[in-house]
Structure 1
Amino acid sequence: MALQVVDEIDSTNTELMRRARAGDEAPTVLVAERQTAGRGRLGRQWHSEAGASLTFSIGVPLQPANWAGLSLAVGLSLAESLHPTIGLKWPNDLWWRDRKLGGILIETLGTGAPRRAIVGVGINVGAPPPSAPELRTPATSLHEAVGPVQAPDVLLQVLPPLLRALAAFEQQGFAPLRERFHTRDVLRGRAVQLADGAQGSALGVDGEGVLWVQTAAGVHSIASGEVSVRPRAG
């Protein structure tokens, strides 16, 4: 596994996708001090400034029997490596005290087996970025959650367990991690609102990482990418 660090790039995920399309499939961890066009889930922008955040992407071939729940497995590994008080908001966010600490963006390339997986991670390390109008959730940082830390130290803390977690997911999937995820699930048992306006209570996730929500119309299963789920206002 090659480790590369660059001062500035548009997006570590985008760069590893470019390399993969050009035929470079070497397992790589690409770290950027600053991203000028960082991306989050559903096309949202990820703000990344030098010294204030840790942003990196892992490009590896993966061949799991079931890809479902990969973002939850990644989030669980990160949260467990960082601090006991850090929670997980389905499907891809790290939370602390109802504020967003970090996010995960997973992309794949290819249709065969194995496929190329690009696992992007962004964690606020220093002072949290200002909460931009487009952000639904206020931001926080490791500085607020656990005290002063430096991005290189955080990388050394989270990367080895994360690589092991990816290897374990390839062999076992998400199901063995479900109970551990429940202990950090910030939505479970809370009022939530779906993208279509429906409201209900989050029941937790199943063995494939699918979120189940109880609404007035019944129990709904929600797969990653179908809707955005957020705590209800008020």
Structure 2
Amino acid sequence: MPQKASSFDLRRVRDLLGPQSGRFDVDHVTSCDSTNTQLLTRAERGSGAGTVLVADQQTAGRGRRGRQWQSAPGSSLTFSLLWRFPREQRLEGLSLSVGIAIVHALSDMGIRELSLKWPNDIWLMGRKLGGVLVEVVHGTHGDMATVIGMGLNLQRNPDWDENLGASYAALVELKEGLTREAVLAAILRELLAVLDVFAREGFAALADEWMRYHAMFGSEVSIEQSGLVRHGRCGGIDALGRLEVETAEGKLRVFGGEVSLRRRA
């Protein structure tokens, strides 16, 4: 059974983080419009790097391309992390880097059959398990305040089953008993390592690791951008996180953003 929303234990998260708990300030709310929206506001008011907001439920959770992100108390883990980078930091590939951290964390917890769908989706057994949404505001002290939103399905939910059928995945399918606290702490620990590398060396230092989990590599795909649909064979990614697709017109390099990538039947 899904855990009750009121069971979220901040002290347990701090205990699981151990020595790294000092790098984070974790807050929890029962409901909010969007954890990203809330942290963007906090960022503008000066909240520090490592601020985390967890919500049992979001009433206006956002995914890519303006889609609503589904969440439900006990069935999902939805949270956002505020991180600050120097103003001159290049942020290309940041969402892909976050995906690496999530896969590492879940793998360490015994979850297998994980992959990454460019640019922002986490897959389990070929179905969507979660996603990442990165938003940026300029800070007031010469930095960039970056809000990294993450959502993962822990349990299957009857409402989602009715609307989505079997098209989504949940961690419970491979491992039972994973709590939100344990999953959150594991992801935060991995994010520390990945974000430190990203800050020092950029995405180029992480691109090969992302390729290990590339879900669509070698597949025939359709890619839609600005209303234009192209077809081709999905290749790798470059040092800026751009996806390479071999089309009839030549090699296409695509940035993330308002892009839809689908495998062709």
Provide the TM-score with structure 1 as the length reference. Answer: 0.92
Q: Which residue of 1 aligns with 2:221?
A: 192
The structural deviation recorded for 1:18 is 1.7
Residue number among 63, 66, 79 corresponding to 2:90 in the alignment = 66
1:92 aligns with 2:92: no
In structure 1, runs of 5+ residues without a counterpart are none
In structure 2, runs of 5+ residues without a counterpart are 1-23
Counterpart AA for 1:24? G
Q: Tell whether the 8 Å contact from 2:29 to 2:54 is kept in structure 1 after alignment.
A: yes
Counterpart AA for 1:39? R
Q: Which residue of 2 aligns with 1:217?
A: 249
1:170 to 1:131, Cα distance in 2 relative to 1, 3 A:
farther
1:55 aligns with 2:78: yes
Mapped partners of 2:241, 2:181: distance in 1: 30
1:207 to 1:131, Cα distance in 2 relative to 1, 3 A:
farther
Counterpart AA for 1:102? G
Q: Which residue of 1 aligns with 2:65?
A: 42
The percent of aligned pairs where both chains have the same amino acid is 37
Residue number among 121, 129, 154 corresponding to 1:101 in the alignment = 129
Q: Which residue of 1 aligns with 2:5?
A: none
The structural deviation recorded for 1:226 is 4.5
The structural deviation recorded for 1:127 is 1.2
Mapped partners of 1:20, 1:29: distance in 2: 11
Mapped partners of 1:138, 1:207: distance in 2: 31
Q: Which residue of 2 aligns with 1:16?
A: 39
1:131 to 1:220, Cα distance in 2 relative to 1, 3 A:
farther
The structural deviation recorded for 1:229 is 1.1
Counterpart AA for 1:89? K
Q: Tell whether the 8 Å contact from 1:86 to 1:94 is kept in structure 2 after alignment.
A: yes
Q: How many residues align?
A: 230
The C-alpha deviation readout for 1:46-80, integer Å capped at 9, x for no partner, is: 01101100011001211263211000000011011
The structural deviation recorded for 1:198 is 1.5
